[in-house]
Amino acid sequence: MADESLTPREQRILAGVNAGEVMETGTELSEKDIAAVLRVARGQSTAEDERDRMLAEIRAAREERENDDE
């Protein structure tokens, strides 16, 4: 992702979202989060789609942990 050329608009959007993340959690965006922000900014996805994608990843990870515990 770092080697990908960003437009000035994408840079501003990403900087704003990252600043909000730092203010809220104290950490910067992960590579996966950056990819999600860029997909939404580029019109390749919606915020709702990205939320659903992240929730599905969380559920899958939780199920995997539960299966490992058995």
Give me the pLDDT at residue 70, please.
75
Give me the pLDDT at residue 9, please.
94
Domain borders along the chain are: 8-69
- Terminal Cα distance for the chain, rounded: 37
In whole angstroms, how large is the CA radius of gyration of the chain? Answer: 15
Chain segment 33-64, per-residue pLDDT in tens: 999 999 999 999 999 999 999 999 999 999 99
Give me the pLDDT at residue 10, please.
94
Query: Whole-number mean pLDDT of the chain?
Result: 90
Packed helices 47-69 and 31-41: angle between N→C axes, nearest 10 degrees: 150
d(CA 48, CA 42): 15
Give me the pLDDT at residue 8, please.
94
